[in-house]
Structure 1
Amino acid sequence: MLKDELTSENMIKYAGYSIIVSLFLLIFYEFEFGVMILVTGISLGIFGFFTKKYSNKLFIFLLKIILMIFVGYSIYFSFEISSYMQLKAPIQKICGLVKNINISNSRHTPNTFELVGEQKVVTFLYYQENKELLSSSNICIEYAFDDRWESYPRVFKIEPESIH
């Protein structure tokens, strides 16, 4: 059982900790988790202040329920914000040969492949439905990538390279 109850002083203390952790995450370009922890910390601080100001038991119970909802929404909104920011990244196109298809047996390591173009190599997530296109000799991929928000580019279009 938890020894530490979610009192107003503890809420404010945990809010301070989570805001400090979120600032470190934002400094090290982990924006998705940084935003999630920042919103959670701000919510904890606000609710800690209100529970300190009001001592009605029903009000405090309702505030704790609302806090749980805000924590859930902070996770959801952080993923929505990162998806929106990833879509705002400039769309790029690379054509080349598919190399190094890595199929992982682990849940924690994603399946990836590299597309080797003339000037650069880009690593993409590999999905089983892309097998037909990856068997072609040369392909072109339109993608958006902002490494501050995601680890791998978001693919918009995969097509065989047309020879002109």
Structure 2
Amino acid sequence: MKALPVIFVQPTCPGDQRAKGIQFLSTCNLFWLCFLILSFLSTSMCAAPVPYPHLKVCLQGLEKDIKDSDVMLYAPLAHEIKENCKMMSLRCYMLELMMVTDEEEIRNNFTECIFFFTEQPEEESVGCPPCEAYSLNNITIFLERLNALLEEMTEREKLRNT
């Protein structure tokens, strides 16, 4: 019978100075490793800008699959959206799109794009109405209003970067 090899990992937690046998990482080391990885992930996600033109491409890819849907969706008018609530409204649109793609059982790269957007951290949206506060509309009106919002946000981003 062979003896199990011992991996020498010195724990960095105070009060835990003895070797852990064949245990690869102590709980403390594992905690610090997770903390380090999450720190890197959170900084890269916060630094990434919202790609409005990319969302528009995703939407164009989805349109042919969802245009015949008979669902009713929450779709705010442009004048209903306060300036500080644009991002929240866009998030509402994306959540509605997720619901449609789920009901229509659509799975492709364009749906992944929508799911990725909704996984991004939410911006502060103080005083913004919930998605359900807006009027229900058919898919055609929903897509028109969403395209208009994306155009407006893309233009605003271009002006901000110049």
TM-score (norm 2): 0.30
Higher relative contact order (CA 8 A, sep 6+): 2
Asked which structure has the greater CA Rg, the reply is: 2
Higher helix share: 2
TM-score (norm 1): 0.30
Higher strand share: 1
